[in-house]
């Protein structure tokens, strides 16, 4: 396929790449499913070409087909590439084959849009890191399109996660975190046998501790390292399964505070391996947050003053996605009369952007793929991408404000107002305090959207056009929202929240 385009609308090309992906040709083998992958190349002159997995030869990667078979003799400097699956990292393919990320860099492509991460936790995000380190600009597909790609590749992803449990060749040299290396001050005896057994059972590894097969699999998963013939836990292995990982990493904990007016402070420290911290902090939370008993049905149900499902999603995201290479920075968790506050060390992981997180539409991308993999196998996390969706549903599902998001070095800070009035108390924006409850709900909704028209606002809340216009005009005057620059009478006029 080839055509000319003058302007680039990323969403259009994401959808087109997915359409190409669905034309992928499966390899003629029964032992495993090959991925469906689509790649789209936009050249500087506007020419667009595409390729899918196996298009010209069984097993050929889409990027290889597009760059090497279709454009080997053509200069591609400054081109833009859309690929539905993370390009394979250096070392991911058997020597002497180059990884697709290496081919992209060699072709001097300036920007790559990537659908989803490689589902193999040993490779996940390493192709992305190689591109970024090589000066290539990277962005991710929209979250809803990521879900579409995952659904189309459901069986491949399941098989890739299973293959991660089997011994392979040498691990890929690209390091995402220093905690991927063997921890020289630790020993395998520092790991909890009970937690290792629980993981082996949940993940269906079918191995026994301290056997060659156990050593091979846990090395492949990046939880152990063979150092001069001796097996050591990696930093990740120690964090996940250590009896007391805080002896080596004293910052790998949660500082929890509960304070209400007139009752002082209740301070606690949540320690232990990461796979235990989620349940420990949940128990601490349940013991302190207000709750009532719902007797409206035959089975009694406990209703918490702030939804447990939202809290658990937020705190597990903090545990899984925080930056463990920042020494001296624990997770901070606070409950007070107005808000629940979570401070997680680390900037947004590249290529995610702060504005995407503030609008709760950030694509799915894990800072710590191997930690995410273990949590997934232990059934401690929900499906990828569900976290931001849970937060985005707060206004409609629970009649609660969206959280406030900020970065206060070195912390990502999520502040969850417990009521609409509490939002006015905790917000640093004076304009918010001037809104009525109805206007506040409208403003919350706009914060979760890219852009909205007056009609969108009116339809959403079943207001008249006049009422919707009055709300939006007030928010404009308070500098809570801005327009796209169109005139007030233009049908193209749109509004967006100012973050």
pLDDT in tens, 123-143: 899 999 999 999 999 999 999
* The pLDDT of residue 305: 84
Strands 111-116 and 137-140: parallel
Top-confidence residue, 262 or 208: 208
Question: Shortest CA distance to 190 belongs to which of 246, 258, 125, 139?
Answer: 246
pLDDT of 296 higher than 70: no
* The pLDDT of residue 4: 47
Helical pair 143-152 and 10-21, crossing angle rounded to 10 deg: 0
Q: pLDDT digit string (tens) for 406-430?
A: 999 999 999 999 998 999 999 989 9
* The pLDDT of residue 128: 97
Q: Which residues contact 366 (CB under 8 A, 6 or more apart)?
A: 117, 124, 125, 320, 321, 349, 372, 384
Contacts by residues 162-168 (CB-CB < 8 Å, ≥ 24 positions apart): 163/32, 163/120, 164/120, 164/121, 164/122, 164/220, 164/221, 164/373, 165/203, 165/205, 165/217, 165/220, 165/221, 166/217, 166/220, 167/213, 167/216, 167/217, 167/219, 167/220, 168/122, 168/220
pLDDT of 251 higher than 80: yes
DSSP state of 274: H
Structural domains of the chain ordered from first start: 2-163 (3.40.140.10), 178-247 (no CATH), 254-423 (3.30.565.60), 429-497 (1.10.10.10)
Mean pLDDT of 87-110: 89
CA dist 197 → 35, 60, 274, 463 (Å) = 32, 39, 15, 57
* The pLDDT of residue 86: 97
- The helix (H) or strand (E) run that includes residue 80 is strand 80-85
pLDDT of 230 higher than 80: yes
pLDDT of 97 higher than 90: no
Percent pLDDT > 70 in the chain is 94
* The pLDDT of residue 157: 93
Mean pLDDT of 376-394: 81
Mean pLDDT of 145-171: 86
DSSP state of 134: T
| Token pair for 453 | 């028209």
pLDDT of 467 higher than 80: yes
Q: pLDDT digit string (tens) for 302-318?
A: 667 899 989 999 999 99
pLDDT of 170 higher than 90: no
Q: How far apart are CA 101 and CA 132, in angstroms?
A: 10
Top-confidence residue, 362 or 262: 362
* The pLDDT of residue 166: 75
Q: What is the mean pLDDT of the chain?
A: 91
* The pLDDT of residue 5: 46
Q: How far apart are CA 174 and CA 172, in angstroms?
A: 6
- The helix (H) or strand (E) run that includes residue 150 is helix 143-152
Write down the residue that tokens 């490779």 correspond to: 123
Q: pLDDT digit string (tens) for 16-46?
A: 999 999 999 999 887 889 999 999 999 999 9
pLDDT of 301 higher than 90: no
Q: pLDDT digit string (tens) for 37-77?
A: 999 999 999 999 999 999 999 999 999 999 999 999 999 99
Mean pLDDT of 106-120: 96
């Amino acid at each position: 396929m080839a055509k000319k385009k003058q302007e680039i609308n990323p969403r259009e090309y994401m959808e087109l790449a997915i359409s190409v992906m669905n034309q992928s040709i499966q390899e003629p083998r029964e032992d495993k499913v090959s991925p469906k992958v689509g790649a789209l190349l936009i050249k500087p002159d506007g020419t667009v070409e595409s390729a899918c997995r196996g298009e010209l030869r069984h097993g050929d990667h889409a990027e290889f087909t597009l760059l090497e078979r279709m454009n080997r003799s053509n200069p591609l400097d400054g081109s833009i590439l859309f690929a539905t699956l993370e390009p394979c990292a250096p070392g991911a393919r058997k020597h002497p084959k180059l990884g697709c990320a290496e081919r992209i860099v060699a072709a001097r492509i300036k920007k790559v849009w990537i659908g989803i991460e490689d589902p193999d936790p040993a490779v996940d995000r390493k192709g992305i890191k190689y591109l970024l380190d090589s000066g290539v600009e990277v962005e991710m597909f929209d979250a809803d399109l990521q879900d579409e790609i995952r659904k189309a590749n459901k069986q491949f992803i399941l098989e890739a996660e299973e293959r991660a449990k089997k011994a392979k060749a040498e691990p890929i040299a690209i390091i995402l975190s220093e905690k991927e290396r063997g921890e020289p001050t630790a020993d395998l005896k520092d790991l909890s046998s009970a937690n290792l057994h629980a993981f082996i059972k949940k993940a269906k590894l079918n191995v026994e501790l301290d056997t060659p097969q156990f050593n091979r699999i846990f090395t492949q998963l990046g939880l152990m390292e063979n150092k001069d013939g001796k097996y050591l836990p990696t930093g990740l292995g120690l964090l996940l399964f250590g009896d007391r990982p805080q002896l080596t990493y004293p910052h790998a904990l949660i500082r929890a505070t509960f304070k209400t007016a007139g009752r002082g402070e209740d301070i606690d420290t949540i320690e232990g391996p990461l796979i235990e911290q989620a349940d420990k902090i949940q128990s601490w939370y349940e013991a302190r947050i207000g709750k009532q008993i719902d007797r409206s049905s035959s089975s009694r149900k406990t209703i918490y003053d702030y939804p447990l499902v939202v809290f658990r999603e937020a705190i597990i995201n903090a545990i899984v996605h925080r930056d463990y290479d920042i020494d001296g920075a624990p997770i901070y968790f606070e409950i007070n009369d107005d808000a629940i506050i979570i401070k997680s060390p680390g900037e947004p992981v590249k290529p995610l952007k702060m504005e995407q997180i503030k609008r709760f539409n950030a694509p799915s991308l894990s800072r710590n793929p191997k930690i995410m993999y273990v949590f997934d196998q232990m059934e401690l996390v929900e499906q990828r991408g569900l976290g931001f969706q849970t937060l985005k549903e707060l206004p409609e599902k629970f009649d609660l404000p969206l959280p406030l998001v900020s970065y206060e070095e070195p912390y990502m800070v999520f502040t969850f107002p417990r009521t609409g009035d509490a939002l006015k108390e905790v917000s640093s924006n004076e304009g918010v305090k001037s809104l009525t409850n109805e206007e506040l709900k409208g403003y919350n909704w706009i914060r979760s959207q890219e852009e909205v028209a007056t009609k969108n606002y009116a339809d959403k809340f079943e207001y008249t056009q006049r009422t919707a216009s009055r709300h939006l005009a007030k928010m404009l005057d308070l500098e809570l929202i801005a327009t796209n620059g169109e005139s007030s009478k233009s049908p193209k006029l749109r509004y967006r929240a100012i973050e």
